[in-house]
Amino acid sequence: MNEKIGIGLLGLGTVGTGVAQIISSPEGRHPLVSKIQLKRVAVKDLSKARAISIPPQLITQDPLEVVEDPSVELVVEVMGGIEPAKSLILKAIKSGKSVVTANKAVIARHGEEIASAANEAGVYVLIEAAVGGGIPIIEPLKQSLGGNKIKKVTGIINGTTNYILTRMSKENADYSVVLKEAQELGYAEADPMADVEGLDAADKISILSGLAFGGTINRSSVPTKGISTLQNRDVEYANKLGYEVKLLAIAERTEKAKDSDPSLSLAVRVEPTLLPREHPLSGVNGVNNAIVIEGDPIGEVMFYGPGAGAGPTASAVVADILNIAGIKIMGTSDTDLDPLLSAFSWRKCHVAETRETLQKNYIRLIAKDSPGVIGQIGKIFGKNTVSIESIVQFDASDSGAEIVVITHEVNKGCISDALSEIKNLNEVKKLASHISCL
């Protein structure tokens, strides 16, 4: 086949530029890279200086022109946002064009609609870059781990927050200064609140959960907490007690979940979490991401690498482009979709009520430094069936003492009832922090 496969690029920002750079320098890469060619590119601002030179006749401000261009066989959406991205993806599918997208916000909310439109039209929508930046995680979940019954997915899946937390923990760096750096490095979302409030990680765990457990979950029911209210003191105490603090995204079968259930019950959450130093995720630093998958019979596998930035993300986008290019070159009928590459739900899943799920806890209380306080706190935990792993008093002074409790894994409802009672004790001035632990 001598004809090149025409690519239409929606967006020429951090990721789009990285993709264009790979396509324009095929030497030394897989031979298929030389079989793809940029045909049209959409940007918002034509006057902006670009890090790559693209022939001006290929560039337009109208993304629809890219999707509708007959020389464009494959649409690569790297513009971000919900609209017009979602409509453009659906338009491309309707025109019989496969799509590659890095847009987790769209896929987490509209993935089901997009996947059914793609399956109906006999085209692919591939999303390797939507989770974990450069880490291959989507294709392994769809293909390499297909023989497993997945029990749990645990990930550090936001590069910006991991970069901030690492710099804060290792160098005591200032939160807002490091956030600005992450933006300049191209790691952060257009609105960085999506990163620091945990929303981007919630999009990603929704996507991973759908692939791991076989059914889409409702994105809006994922309990989500970011790092913006995390206090330095808790990071410091966590370190003293042998833990690192990371923004974790977790999806796991609840204790009650059975494969025969009409809808599989999953405990899903995104929140800052204390990780014991011996946990494989505790050493994942900087912009790196890592995802641990627990499956039967494989056991535990960990995927690790750069989670954001132009090069790593472009690597994942181009992997998807090559998958589709390979199929096109083989000349398989467009309606014969490879079931391991296309996406479809094969069962229903739902997010379990938070109170029913289990969790280990770190709790910091400010209390009077008087005899019997720890005894009273312990009694209330015991009454609510909360078992304590350790209890330590820090910084006792006339103004009070800080008591840090680590519990064993307990029902979230029980811990919440116990804390409501403890807050009402005369000797307790304040519940200063409550953070999950692994």
Distance, CA of 184 to CA of 189 (rounded, Å): 11
Q: Nearest approach, Cβ of 159 to ligand HSE (angstroms)?
A: 4
Element (H, E) at 223: none
Decide whether 51 or 396 has the Cβ nearer to ligand HSE.
51
Q: Which of 6, 215, 309, 400 binds ligand NAP (CB under 6 A)?
A: 309
Binds ligand HSE (CB under 6 A): choice among 11, 18, 80, 159 = 159
| CB nearer ligand HSE, residue 310 or residue 403 | 310
Residue 249 neighbours by CB distance under 10 Å = 31
Question: Which residues, other chains included, contact 247 with Cβ-Cβ below 8 Å and sequence gap of 6+?
Answer: 156, 158, 161, 162, 165, 198, 201, 226, 227, 270, 271, 272, 273
Using rule CB under 6 A, residue 128 touches ligand HSE:
no
Please classify residue 434 by burial: count the beta carbons closer than 10 Å to its beta carbon, then call 0-12 exposed, 13-18 middle and 19+ buried: middle
DSSP 337: -
Q: Which does 306 bind (CB under 5 to 8 A by kind): ligand HSE, ligand NAP, none?
A: none
Does 186 help bind ligand HSE (rule: CB under 6 A)? Answer: no
Work out which of 101, 158, 323, 359 binds ligand HSE, going by CB under 6 A.
158
Rounded Cα–Cα distance for residues 21 and 164 (Å) = 28
Dihedral (Cα; 326, 328, 331, 332), 10-degree rounding: 90
Q: State which H helix or E strand residue 389 sits in.
A: strand 388-397
Chosen residue from 6, 8, 16, 400 binding ligand NAP by CB under 6 A: 16
Active site residue 39: no
Q: Kindly name the residue from 39, 104, 204, 246 that is annotated as catalytic.
A: 204
Say what angle helices 373-383 and 412-423 make with each other, to 10 degrees. 140
Q: Which does 67 bind (CB under 5 to 8 A by kind): ligand NAP, ligand HSE, none?
A: none
Kindly give, in sequence order, each residue whose CB lies less than 8 Å from that of residue 311, ignoring residues fewer than 6 positions away. Answer: 18, 134
360: Cβ contacts below 8 Å, ≥ 6 apart: 389, 406, 407, 408, 409, 410, 436, 437, 438
**Which one of ligand HSE, ligand NAP, none interacts with residue 286, CB within 5 to 8 A by kind?**
none
Among 188, 238, 318, 403, binds ligand HSE (CB under 6 A): 188
Question: Which three-class secondary structure state does DSSP give residue 250?
Answer: strand
190 binds ligand NAP (CB under 6 A): yes
Nearer Cβ to ligand NAP, position 79 or 404? 79
Query: Is 197 in contact with 272 (CB distance < 8 Å)?
Result: no
Among positions 38, 43, 67, 308, the unique one binding ligand HSE when judged by CB under 6 A: 308
Question: Among 124, 187, 237, 381, which residue sits at the site for ligand HSE (rule: CB under 6 A)?
Answer: 187
* Interface ranges with ligand NAP (CB under 6 A): 11-16, 42-45, 48, 63, 78-80, 84, 102-104, 129, 133, 186-187, 189-190, 308-309, 313
- List interacting residues with ligand HSE (CB under 6 A): 133, 158-160, 187-189, 195, 200, 307-308
Active site residue ranges: 204
